[in-house]
Structure 1
Amino acid sequence: MDVFELLGISEDLAGLTYFIGTLIMALPVPIQGLKKWGPKLITDGIYSSILVNLYETFLSLLVQIGNVLGTNWNNFFNWVYQLLANELTVYTVIRSYYAALTSVPYSSINPMVGPISMLLSIVSGFMSVTGTLIVISELIYNYVGLIIVIGILLMSMPFRIGRSFGGSMIGFGMVFYIGLPLLPSFLSDFNANILQSISVQSNYSFSVIVTQIIPIYIEGTVLMPLAYLGMLASLSLGVGYAISGMSSRLPIPLDFL
């Protein structure tokens, strides 16, 4: 099922929502809790239909805003894969130290084995964070249209069942598609861009790794990126709330007069 088939389903759901609203308005039943849903569903149906027809406008708007802000996905992917390569290089160097220490007799009582093993775990954590960032980036870059369409589909469901979550998905797709490639620039502004702070060398001394490399990686691959992603998440929630208008709820309980 492609994007335009989902848009067709969304349009059908929008029409269904509209006609359910008109049906409720026409019911000769004096139930205020039910009657109040008539105008809401009619409005929701019209609004969802507008969102369906604005789908390509959303995509065009993302590109235009991204161009204004300097969004460049190719540069971002080059940066993040280079970052992962640097982390792998550091891991390989530390692993060589560990292999050298454990190859000698009585290595289990060597006091350096424990700290180096801990460093391996830390750098593995860095690579896991970067790998997760790559997965999220690939998902957003390749499927931003699908994410927005699913959001529209959820918002088109009658009685606002998926309205809040649908708006959040639209906001997530839009904000992260524009903002995520700007992460390297954000890190550079705070002097936390690892690719600008250190250069990959064929060998590192243990003291350099402990006193320079690890602190830089903690700041540049964990703390600052997580702070930036948190800001994007907060902004996407705000955009999603603005698009959805309100939280989702079911038309129950009914207030009988």
Structure 2
Amino acid sequence: MNAFEILAISQDLSSLTYFIGALIMALPLPVYGLKRWGPRMIVDGIYASILVNLYESFLTLMENLGNMLGVNWAYYMNWIYQLLLGELEVYTTIKTIYSVAISAPYSGFNPFLATIGLLLSMISGFMSVTGTIIVISQLILNYSGLIISLGILLMSLPFRIGRSIGGSMIAFGIVFYLGLPLLPNFLSSFGVNILQQGFSQSELNSISGLATIVIPAYIEGTVLMPLAYIGILTSITLGLGSAISGSYSRLPIPVDFL
């Protein structure tokens, strides 16, 4: 099912919502708890129909804003895969050092083994965070239009069943499509873009260099600052989602697992 098929269903649901509201208004029952839904659903039906017709305008707006902001998805995806490759190279280096250390005589008494094992665990964590961001990026790049159309579909449901999550999905598709590719620029502005930091071979091949220079740089450039940036995008998404839905909103995906 593509986005336009979903929009066709959304249009039908918005009409259904409108007519249910009109029917409630026409009921000869002076029950306030029921009657108050009449005008709400009429307005909701009209609003959802407007959103359906604005779908292509959303996509055009995203493209225009992206051009203004300098959004370049091809560059961004290449950058983040290069970042993952750099993490893998550091992991391989540490793994090699660990293999040499553990094969040495009396390795059981080597005080550096625990440190090397800790560094391996940290790099594995960095790669997990980067891999998760890659998954989210691929989702947004390939399905942002579908996510927005699903949000409109949820907004069209009667009795505001999916209004909150629907507004969030629309905002999520827009904000993350525009915001994620700007992550390298954000990191560069703070001087923590790992791909712009050259590490010497002596730093990469020594425990002291890894522990005091390389790993701290990766903590800042691949975990702390990227998560802070995603937190900013999340806040913008929640605000825009609340504005679209007119109620409390939440992200359609959990971000606390990062």
Aligned pairs (5 A) from 1:156-167: 156-167=156-167
The answer on whether the counterparts of 1:89 and 1:200 sit within 8 Å (CA) in structure 2 is no
Please list the CA deviations of residues 116-170 of structure 1 after superposition, one character each: whole Å capped at 9, or x if unmatched: 0110000111111111110010001100011101110110000111101100111
Q: Distance in 2 between matches of 1:29 and 1:58?
A: 41
In the alignment, is residue 69 of structure 1 matched against residue 69 of structure 2?
Answer: yes
Matching residue of 1:28: 28
Given residue 205 of structure 2, which amino acid in structure 1 is its aligned partner? Answer: Y
Please list the CA deviations of residues 189-248 of structure 1 after superposition, one character each: whole Å capped at 9, or x if unmatched: 011111112247595222211111001000000110111000000000000001111249
Deviation at 1:5, TM superposition (A): 1.3
Aligned pairs (5 A) from 1:1-257: 1-199=1-199, 204-247=205-248
The answer on whether the counterparts of 1:168 and 1:237 sit within 8 Å (CA) in structure 2 is yes
Deviation at 1:108, TM superposition (A): 2.0
Matching residue of 1:251: none
Q: Distance in 1 between matches of 2:127 and 2:98?
A: 18
Question: SS where residue 29 of structure 1 aligns?
Answer: coil
Count how many residue pairs are aligned between Structure 1 and Structure 2. Answer: 248
User: Unmatched 5+ residue regions in structure 2?
Assistant: 250-258
Q: Distance in 1 between matches of 2:64 and 2:165?
A: 26
Given residue 150 of structure 1, which amino acid in structure 2 is its aligned partner? Answer: L
Relative contact order, higher structure (CA 8 A, sep 6+): 1
Q: Distance in 1 between matches of 2:160 and 2:199?
A: 53
User: Unmatched 5+ residue regions in structure 1?
Assistant: 249-257
When structure 1 is superposed on structure 2, of 102-111 and 206-215 the one drifting more is: 102-111
Q: Distance in 1 between matches of 2:35 and 2:207?
A: 73
Relative to the length of structure 1, the TM-score reads: 0.93
Q: Distance in 2 between matches of 1:247 and 1:29?
A: 31
Cα distance 1:247–1:94, how it changes in 2: closer, same or farther (>3 A)? closer
Cα distance 1:138–1:147, how it changes in 2: closer, same or farther (>3 A)? same
The answer on whether the counterparts of 1:51 and 1:152 sit within 8 Å (CA) in structure 2 is yes
The answer on whether the counterparts of 1:86 and 1:200 sit within 8 Å (CA) in structure 2 is no
Given residue 211 of structure 2, which amino acid in structure 1 is its aligned partner? Answer: V
Cα distance 1:201–1:134, how it changes in 2: closer, same or farther (>3 A)? farther
What is the percent sequence identity of the aligned residues? 65
Over the residues paired in the alignment, what is the CA RMSD in angstroms?
1.4
